[in-house]
């Protein structure tokens, strides 16, 4: 029996994705129960860091048959996710200190900071929308999970829908990671 290139890695990356999604869910619970605790921010950052592994696993499963679109999607979503992680790092370590030591700056940050954060979120959103389209188009993973990968980041930009966006995205990442962990799409990995 031929080994599939990347099958073991996809399983590992998917496992890390499940852990990341669970960290994000824990963060959401902590923010509801302990809103003043910094612990929620640390779980948020850890969950965001592990999101990169899910993205790599999705790319590995789709790489063989997705061509230039798949590569551009992967690059853009990787850049967007990296910027998103940067924002999460700032929210975990810088913002709590600003709230204490520079509350006026925290309350009214310069336009450049707001624009940079919004730009980071926009690239993150566009990247994950493209990933969702790829998932739907290729059909290696559930099409519903592809639709949710499109909907959740868009909800984050809509007033009052942002409350639903992060839990929905975390649950979708958990589901996608589980599908990848169970070998869905593994037939598309190159044989050696």
2, pLDDT greater than 70: no
Residue 190 has pLDDT above 70, yes or no: no
What is the reported pLDDT for 6? 81
Predicted confidence band at 192 (pLDDT cuts at 50, 70, 90)?
A: very low
- Whole-angstrom Cα distance, residue 43 to residue 35? 13
pLDDT at 191: 55
Per-residue tokens: 95? 């913002």
Comparing 25 with 1, the larger pLDDT belongs to: 25
Element (H or E) spanning 115, and its range?
helix 111-138
Does the pLDDT value for residue 3 go beyond 70? no
Supply 143's token pair. 């099409």
34 and 40 Cβ atoms separated by less than 8 Å = yes
Residue 118 CB neighbour total at 10 angstroms: 12
| Interhelix angle 162-181/143-155, nearest 10 degrees | 150
Is the confidence at residue 186, as pLDDT, over 80? no
**76 contacts 123 by C-beta, under 8 angstroms:** yes
Whole-angstrom distance, CA of residue 166 vs CA of residue 44: 10
Are 61 and 141 contacting, i.e. CB atoms less than 8 angstroms apart? yes
Say which range, 18-22, 97-101, 149-153, 158-162, has the weakest mean pLDDT. 158-162
Q: What is the DSSP letter of 191?
A: B
Cα–Cα distance measured from residue 132 to residue 70, given in angstroms and rounded to the nearest whole number? 11
Taking only the tens place, the pLDDT of each residue in 148-157 is 999 999 998 8
Q: Which residue has the higher pLDDT, 24 or 37?
A: 24
Length of the chain: 192
Taking only the tens place, the pLDDT of each residue in 82-135 is 999 999 999 999 999 999 999 999 999 999 999 999 999 999 999 999 999 999
Quick count: other Cβ atoms within 10 Å of Cβ 133?
16
Sorting pLDDT into bands at 50, 70 and 90, what band is 54?
Answer: very high
């Amino acid at each position: 029996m031929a080994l599939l290139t990347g099958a073991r890695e996809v399983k590992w990356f998917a496992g890390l994705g499940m852990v990341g999604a669970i960290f994000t869910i824990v963060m959401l619970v902590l923010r509801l129960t302990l809103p003043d605790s910094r612990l929620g921010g640390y779980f948020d950052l850890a969950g965001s860091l592990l999101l990169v592994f899910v993205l790599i696993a999705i790319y590995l499963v789709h790489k063989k048959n997705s061509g230039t679109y798949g590569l551009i999607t992967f690059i853009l979503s990787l850049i967007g996710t990296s910027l998103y992680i940067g924002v999460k790092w700032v929210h975990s370590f810088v913002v709590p200190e600003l709230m204490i030591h520079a509350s006026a700056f925290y309350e009214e940050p310069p336009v450049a900071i707001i624009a940079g954060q919004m730009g980071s979120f926009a690239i993150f959103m566009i990247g994950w929308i493209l990933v969702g389209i790829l998932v739907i188009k290729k059909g290696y993973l559930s099409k519903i999970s592809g639709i949710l990968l499109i909907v959740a980041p868009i909800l984050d930009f809509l007033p009052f829908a942002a409350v639903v966006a992060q839990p929905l995205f975390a649950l979708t990442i958990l589901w996608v990671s589980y599908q990848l962990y169970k070998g869905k799409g593994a037939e598309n990995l190159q044989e050696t």
